[in-house]
Structure 1
Amino acid sequence: MKGCLSGAGAHLLIVVLFHLRLGSSACPCEDPALCNTISGTRDFEVFVFDVGGKSWKSYDWSHITTVAIFGKYDPELMCYAHSRGSRVVLKGDISVTEIVDPAVRAAWISQKVDLAKRQFMDGINIDIEQEVEKASPEYYALTDLVKETTEAFHKEIPGSQVTFDIAWSPDCIDKRCYNYTGIAESCDFVFVMSYDEQSQVWSQCIARANAPYNQTLTEYDKYIHMGINPKKIVMGVPWYGYDYSCLGLSKAHVCSITKVHFRGAPCSDAAGRQRPYKVIMNLVNSSLSGILWDEEVEAPYLEYKDPHGTFHQVWFDNPRSISLKAAYVKERGLRGIGMWNGDCLNYSGGSIAQEQTEAMWEALIPK
């Protein structure tokens, strides 16, 4: 009879309607196999944060192992990353005051697991950078959150990966007094955010390197000395820098900056403005100095004058400074390296931009 469906046809319609209702639960990839979880570990982790847009199409995928989605979810990115054997993971963030309640933790974890399943993702990167006092209820709850999240993801999505972003130093930096050893034990590995190291300046208020070499590596030694297995540590490096307006700029290249308080400290890098590497490179030719190098902190910087006549000093990382840190990763046997963030480079395709961008990707891999 016209207009009636057979039993098989009715069943097919129900299946189609079910997938339409679930939306992203239907595999968005041309090859359904690309919606399978990426499992197993690679010898060297290269961890990339993506903040949205389509720059990912120009990433150097030859070494990438994990992409953490901190922008809008892009199913095309998920499909492509999986085709290259790379994991794609969620961002996880929640108020530390809320997670003291076990029921809130359980509900949050359940929601994240369900989201990861619907989007065919391979885990979660927990990025909580809030103040926590040592031995407080939040201190213990944060460790419990990491442990419970790891257990849930590993159970519900076999082969999935759970990671946690930790401060560049274990010494209660920015009042983040976390149980770092407990957190590291409770997840697959930790990503050390070795940047914004001038977030609390207790001495002279002057422009400084974003991630000074000796200071950075000293803090990794502390983490290892605390008992964290080097194979559970991924080094984070910045693909951006800070542009400071100088209240005064001396001949010895000392740039005094405005006092901006942060979490108890009298000065902070908040006096500066974050600039991606691609923007900094565009400043080089019009700068007063070209790229300078500070031997003490093993970092590049440059100086320029803006149209209003104000002197600026810009501190950043480049292939030379990143290569030095990557060498430490190899020397100490760390799990790998990564950056904030993958979209800071110039992927426009011009010959100079292409050379600069390729050099930044290559610097991540220890020679």
Structure 2
Amino acid sequence: MKRFLPRFVCQIVQTFLHRARLLLLLTLAALASQPNAAHAQSNAKIGHQPALKPASIPALVGYFPQWGIYNQPQYLVKNLATGTTPLVDQINYAQGFVTNGHCSIADPNADLNYTFTAEQSVDGKPDTPTQPFRGNLHQLQKLKRKFPNLRILISLEGHATDFADDAQPANRAAFVTSCIDTFLKGQFAPGITIPNLLDGIDLDWEYPHQPDAANYVALLQEFRRQMDALRPGLLLNVAVGPSPRMYEGTDMAEIGRLVDRIGLMTYDMSGPWSDTTGFIAPLTASPNYNGGTVAHSVEAYLEAGVPAEKLLMGVPFYGYGWNQVPEDDNGLAQEGSPIHGDRPYSYIATVIPTSTVYRDPDSQTPWLFDGDIFWTYDDPLSITHKARYVLDHQLGGLMIWELGEDNAASDLLHAAHESLQTPTQPALSNADEPSEGDSALPAPSR
């Protein structure tokens, strides 16, 4: 032990200096950002209000991927039970399917038929091939028994044209009844009825066009009416795009009255479709970046009449990359060759040791660059800044897409949870400690 003491002491000193430097940045940012009183007191007429967490305790909502059983390594409901569930208030199970005027199970194998081993199961008990109720939904049932206060919603997704047809006056009531029968009454399949497993519906219509505006609101009204008639306290959420301008003609204040939570998909501000490298989810504006920001999205919905306490700020647990990026400005705002698709934070965290970490102090956004490959993503410190914004502006909480993309240590999830509880301290992990020569200080000015 003694022969390692000098190196150990050096590491302590380096870590202390690094954390102090990041804490200074966070403190300065906190002093610079004052709560917007107009936004904090956005109190549009409130309608249905089931018992949620008090507005002073922001919620943490995460999407669980139905397809996690196919991932390598697998991401299972058991992963929620062994570390995630105590940190979150609500799980949105993605996904149920909307098509041809009704709701249905999107993947019968994942939802109902997958046979979990004892090692894979929430309670350590294996499924048997002959039992009728298996799959993720059975595991979620076990999860609810273990964590009875956890809310689990089904996220309904489908093509925009399907939603538009289903929301038509002639189809609306029957469509909503189908969704309620399938998921809230638990009529999952012939011979499989599990009532009261799910606590509500998260509607993800991407996106209603201007002619759909009135029908979108009417559809939510019908969901609210039928859900209230079925069981008091059922939750109705919606996922919405980063700007209310995407919902031209839609009465967002009425939507804010009808639903319990509104999840802002405040990410994908830049990606492989962009002309240059950029930031996936910058919190605030920066002279180094010309795209949209999370704060602008939040402000737009508040101005549209949505109550602050119902807004969930979306945070991505994934990122985008480009290769063949010029070295100018450390790769930022440069043309490059987009890397196909996104990459989970679990992958990006493995790249950090071989790249340089840069941080834009205006947008509170990190990026990685190794002289050729550029990555944009959120890390524990950027999520800490977002949690502070949520608290300062009295928003409803944070929404995560999606839980299975975090690293094995759940660094992002822990940062989100801890920052909402004790937001004055930046949440860091070993994966985010810059190695020698890296910098978490402001990038060079452009």
Mark yes or no: TM-score above 0.5.
Answer: yes
Taking structure 1 as the reference length, the TM-score comes to 0.74
Q: Residues 51 and 121 (structure 1 numbering): CA distance in 2 closer, same or farther, change over 3 Å? A: same
Give unpaired runs (5+ residues) of structure 2.
1-49, 69-75, 96-110, 112-135, 187-193, 285-292, 424-446
Amino acid corresponding to residue 60 of structure 1 in structure 2: T
CA contact (8 A) 1:303 1:312 kept: yes
Counterpart for residue 265 of structure 2: 193
The 1:363–1:81 alpha-carbon spacing in structure 2 relative to 1, beyond 3 Å, is farther
Question: What is the aligned counterpart of 2:179 among 112, 116, 121?
Answer: 112
**AA partner of residue 51 (structure 1):** P
Contact 1:246 1:255 in 2 (8 A): no
Match of 1:167 in 2: 241
CA contact (8 A) 1:132 1:178 kept: no
The CA deviation at 1:127 is: 0.7
Contact 2:325 2:331 in 1 (8 A): no
Name 2:151's counterpart in structure 1.
87
**For 1:212, which of 272, 277, 282 is the aligned residue?**
282
Q: Select 1:51's aligned residue among 52, 65, 72.
A: 65
User: For the Cα contact (< 8 Å) 2:271–2:277, is it kept in 1?
Assistant: no
Q: How far apart, in 2, do the equivalents of 1:154 and 1:244 lie?
A: 48
Task: Say whether residues 1:226 and 2:304 are aligned partners.
Answer: yes
Please give the secondary structure, in 1, of the residue aligned with 2:171.
Answer: helix
Aligned counterpart for 2:368 among listed residues 302, 309, 314: 302
Instruction: Using the TM superposition, give the Cα deviation of residue 354 of structure 1 relative to its aligned residue in structure 2, in angstroms.
Output: 5.9
CA contact (8 A) 1:242 1:315 kept: yes
Judge conservation of contact 1:234–1:335 (CA < 8 Å) in 2. Answer: yes
2:167–2:219 Cα contact (<8 Å) kept = no
The change in CA–CA distance for 1:271 and 1:97 in structure 2 (over 3 A counts) is: farther
RMSD of the TM alignment (CA)?
Answer: 2.7
Q: Deviations over 1:61-102 (max 9, x none)?
A: 234221111054422223323532011111123423313422
- The equivalent residue for 2:108 is none
% same residue: 21
Measured against aligned partners, the alpha-carbon deviations of 1:138-193 in whole angstroms (never above 9, x if no partner) come to 11111111111122112112211000011122232xx7774432322221221111
The equivalent position to 2:358 in structure 1, one of 283, 292, 313, is 292
Q: Does the aligned pair in 2 maintain the 1:318–1:360 contact within 8 Å?
A: no
- Is residue 2:405 matched to residue 1:344? yes
Q: Distance in 2 between matches of 1:217 and 1:93?
A: 26
Contact 1:299–1:321 (Cα < 8 Å) also in 2? yes
**Paired residue for 1:267?**
none
In the TM superposition, 1:57-68 aligns within 5 A as: 57-68=81-92
Q: Shift of the alpha carbon at 1:282?
A: 0.9
* Paired residue secondary structure (2:373): strand
Is the 2:359–2:365 contact (alpha carbons within 8 Å) kept by the matching residues of 1?
A: yes
Q: Which residue of structure 2 aligns with residue 274 of structure 1?
A: 342
Instruction: Check if 1:126 corresponds to 2:200.
Output: no
Counterpart AA for 2:345: Y
Q: Note if contact 1:117-1:157 (Cα within 8 Å) is conserved in structure 2.
A: no
Say if 2:140 is the partner of 1:77. yes
Please give the alpha-carbon distance, in whole angstroms, between the structure 2 residues aligned to 1:105 and 1:49.
Answer: 26
CA distance in 2, matches of 1:199, 1:252: 17
- Taking the aligned partners of 1:93 and 1:186, their CA distance within structure 2 comes to 19
Q: CA deviation at 1:106?
A: 1.6
Question: Compared with structure 1, are the counterparts of its residues 364 and 283 closer, same or farther at alpha carbon in structure 2 (3 Å cutoff)?
Answer: farther
Q: Deviations over 1:188-233 (max 9, x none)?
A: 22111111123698xx821111111112112212221222111121
**1:56 and 1:343 in contact (8 A); partners too:** no
CA contact (8 A) 1:323 1:366 kept: no
For 1:281 and 1:161, locate their aligned partners in 2 and report how far apart those are by CA, in whole Å. Answer: 35
Long gaps (5+) in structure 1? 1-38, 260-269, 306-310, 348-352
Alignment-mate amino acid for residue 138 of structure 2: P
Contact 1:59/1:342, CA 8 A, preserved across alignment: no
TM-score normalized by the length of structure 2: 0.61
CA distance in 1, matches of 2:272, 2:220: 27
2:229 maps to what in 1? 155
CA contact (8 A) 2:283 2:363 kept: yes
- Contact 1:338 1:364 (8 Å CA) reproduced: no
